């Protein structure tokens, strides 16, 4: 299907174009956007995506009972097919369609090839393109109906939004899965607006490094290798960071967890943890009950999401902070028990071990950032240099070693006000 659409685009050769995809068409649009960003010929003009009740890159969240029912009636007798097709259309709208539109929708369902219908339910909807699509820089407008049972706002937030650096999610109240039939005028307006007004996510400034501490980093008291490492740690986050050890959905869950554990605006700790996992650059040990770090993180994040669905019927990323904190507290107490349920992969003890590792990783990465070093007034970076032939007495280290006897060049720790602590600053 992506090949077919790509050929149509090349035949028209537009200088600029957007792609709108509904339901499974959104998955096709995502595949095309990935091709465009990878430099596929003829797709360079892609400016944006409009994803309408879209099937995400991950397997589509259809309950197995419904899959079986839909597979069964597509090959039934004519009367059964007519009845079930009408029930199918009515189950996918938020309110009744007018009679003519409903009849056309039913006819459209009945024109579907039974082989294609069953193939989609058995395999197509289960295909996992999460890593292949990755994180896209192409701006996206994501539209969801509040009454869409499988692909509503929660699914779009948890499974679709993590694939974009620049996206806007709009929920349409009272609408089911068939937005193009239920609110055609509204959809037309939103598409036109999306073409002319691109969604934009403001860039987040990295944590502030005070001028005095920045001057210390730039001074000859700091070894150039250390300075380079600190400069790298101070770089702003990449909104289109493509995870290497995790997939985009897991990275989204990890970001939601870290927002509760150690909220640091402007610092993408999740991306830094993922980079560490991919490089194998940990602290050299792990709990023997846990698998290797990358596997442990993937399994734990999926288990936490399964726990959210079991407890609240919703993905972890869309829960409010209180409910997220309650689940994380269960992790801490070794009381999170969803092994084998809804994708739960780790038992309660292993979730406790993982949560301890997570907190350690988060704190270590934060304290390695120049802004954190400045906050605590850490002066240990200023004890080396690059001058050749240095001997101990020439190193720019400490001369005063008594209590409460800082040297003139040492930075002072920042005073943190209670409100700043509450705000995560």
DSSP of 167-227: EEEEEETT--S-HHHH-HHHHHHHHHHHHHS---PPPPPPPP--HHHHHHHHSTTS-HHHH
For residue 199, the model assigns a pLDDT of 57
Tokens of 192: 């036109």
Name the band, by pLDDT with cuts 50, 70 and 90, for residue 282: confident
> What span, in angstroms and rounded, lies between the C-alpha atoms of 361 and 359?
5
Mean pLDDT for the stretch of residues 108-130: 92
> What span, in angstroms and rounded, lies between the C-alpha atoms of 305 and 320?
14
For CA atoms 416, 417, 418, 420, the dihedral sign is negative
Residues 308 and 340 in one domain: yes
- Lowest mean pLDDT, pick from 68-72, 250-254, 294-298, 306-310: 68-72
For residue 407, the model assigns a pLDDT of 87
Residues 251 and 141 in one domain: no
* Angle formed at CA 129 by CA 348 and CA 350, multiple of 5 degrees: 10
- Lowest mean pLDDT, pick from 85-89, 220-224, 272-276, 364-368: 220-224
- Per-residue CA distances from 307 to 262, 352, 405 (Å): 21, 14, 52
For residue 425, the model assigns a pLDDT of 44
Kindly give, in sequence order, each residue whose CB lies less than 8 Å from that of residue 144, ignoring residues fewer than 6 positions away: 53, 151, 152, 153, 155, 156, 169, 170, 171, 172
On whether residue 44 sits in a domain, the answer given is yes
Q: What is the mean pLDDT of the chain?
A: 92
Tokens of 219: 């001074």
Residues 263 and 135 in one domain: no
Q: Given a cut of 90, is residue 249 above it in pLDDT?
A: yes
Residues 168 and 218 in one domain: no
Residues 107 and 234 in one domain: no
Name the band, by pLDDT with cuts 50, 70 and 90, for residue 393: low
Last residue of some domain: 196, 224, 243?
Answer: 196
- Smallest CA-to-CA distance from 152 within 315, 301, 307, 25 is with 315
For residue 397, the model assigns a pLDDT of 78
Domains identified in the chain, total number: 3
Kindly give, in sequence order, each residue whose CB lies less than 8 Å from that of residue 383, ignoring residues fewer than 6 positions away: 221, 395, 396, 397, 398
Q: Render pLDDT for 190-219 as a digit per residue (tens, 0 to 9).
A: 999 988 876 566 677 889 999 999 999 999
- Smallest CA-to-CA distance from 35 within 119, 134, 169 is with 134
| Helix, strand, coil fractions of the chain, as percent rounded to 5 | 50, 5, 40
On whether residue 394 sits in a domain, the answer given is no
Last residue of some domain: 170, 196, 222?
Answer: 196
Mean pLDDT for the stretch of residues 309-326: 97
Residues 50 and 138 in one domain: yes
Q: Which domain holds residue 160?
A: 1-59+129-196
CATH of the domain at 33: 3.40.50.1820
Residues 292 and 352 in one domain: yes
Q: Is the Cβ–Cβ distance between 201 and 169 less than 8 Å? A: no
Residues 169 and 243 in one domain: no
For residue 384, the model assigns a pLDDT of 76
On whether residue 183 sits in a domain, the answer given is yes
For residue 418, the model assigns a pLDDT of 47
Mean pLDDT for the stretch of residues 179-191: 96
For residue 409, the model assigns a pLDDT of 86
Q: Given a cut of 70, is residue 297 above it in pLDDT?
A: yes
Residues 143 and 228 in one domain: no
Which stretch of DSSP H or E encloses residue 141? strand 140-145
Task: List, in sequence order, every residue forming a beta bridge with 19; answer none if it has no partner.
Answer: 49
On whether residue 278 sits in a domain, the answer given is yes
Residue with the bigger pLDDT between 384 and 148: it is: 148
Mean pLDDT for the stretch of residues 145-155: 96
On whether residue 157 sits in a domain, the answer given is yes
Residues 313 and 345 in one domain: yes
Q: Given a cut of 80, is residue 257 above it in pLDDT?
A: yes
Q: Given a cut of 80, is residue 292 above it in pLDDT?
A: yes
Last residue of some domain: 337, 357, 375?
Answer: 375
Residue with the bigger pLDDT between 188 and 339: it is: 188
For CA atoms 409, 413, 415, 419, the dihedral sign is positive
- Smallest CA-to-CA distance from 309 within 335, 334, 336 is with 336
For residue 66, the model assigns a pLDDT of 87
On whether residue 203 sits in a domain, the answer given is no
**Tokens 């694939």, residue located:** 163
> What span, in angstroms and rounded, lies between the C-alpha atoms of 228 and 222?
10
Residues 36 and 164 in one domain: yes
Stated pTM of the model: 0.91
On whether residue 350 sits in a domain, the answer given is yes
On whether residue 92 sits in a domain, the answer given is no
Residues 257 and 158 in one domain: no
């Amino acid at each position: 299907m992506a090949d077919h659409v790509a050929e149509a685009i090349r035949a028209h050769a537009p200088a600029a174009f957007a792609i709108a995809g509904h339901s499974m068409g959104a998955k096709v649009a995502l595949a095309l956007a990935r091709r465009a960003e990878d430099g596929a010929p003829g797709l360079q003009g892609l400016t944006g995506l409009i994803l309408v009740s879209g099937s995400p890159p991950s397997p589509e969240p259809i309950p197995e009972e419904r899959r079986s029912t839909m597979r069964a009636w597509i090959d039934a007798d004519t009367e059964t097919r007519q009845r079930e097709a009408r029930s199918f259309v009515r189950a996918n709208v938020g309110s009744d369609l007018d009679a003519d539109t409903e009849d056309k929708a039913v006819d459209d369902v009945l024109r579907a090839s039974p082989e294609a219908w069953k193939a989609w339910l058995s395999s197509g909807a289960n295909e996992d393109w999460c890593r292949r699509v990755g994180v896209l820089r192409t701006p996206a407008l994501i539209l969801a109906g509040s009454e869409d049972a499988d692909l509503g706002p929660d699914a779009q937030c948890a499974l679709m939004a993590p694939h974009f650096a620049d996206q806007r999610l709009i929920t349409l109240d009272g609408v089911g899965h068939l937005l193009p039939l239920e609110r055609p005028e509204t959809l037309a307006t939103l598409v036109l607006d999306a073409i002319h007004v691109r969604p934009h996510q403001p860039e987040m400034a990295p944590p502030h490094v005070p001028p005095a501490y920045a001057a210390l980093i730039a001074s000859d008291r700091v070894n150039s290798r250390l300075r380079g490492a600190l400069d790298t740690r101070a770089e702003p986050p990449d909104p289109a960071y493509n995870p290497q050890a995790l997939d985009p959905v897991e990275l989204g869950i990890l970001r939601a967890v870290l927002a509760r554990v150690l909220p640091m605006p402007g610092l993408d700790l999740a991306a830094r943890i993922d980079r560490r996992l991919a490089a194998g650059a940990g602290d050299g040990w792990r709990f023997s009950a846990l698998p290797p770090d990358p596997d442990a993180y993937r399994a734990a994040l999926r288990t936490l999401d399964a726990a959210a669905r079991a407890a609240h019927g919703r993905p972890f990323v869309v829960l409010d902070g209180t409910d997220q904190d309650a689940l994380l507290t269960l992790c801490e107490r070794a009381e999170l028990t969803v092994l084998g349920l809804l994708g739960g992969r780790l038992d309660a003890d292993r979730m406790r071990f993982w949560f301890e590792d997570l907190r350690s990783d988060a704190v270590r990465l934060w304290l390695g950032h120049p802004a954190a070093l400045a906050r605590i007034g850490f002066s240990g970076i200023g004890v080396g240099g690059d001058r050749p032939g240095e001997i101990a007495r020439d190193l720019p280290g400490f001369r005063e070693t008594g209590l409460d006897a800082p040297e003139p060049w040492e930075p002072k720790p920042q005073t943190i006000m209670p409100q700043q602590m509450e705000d995560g600053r």
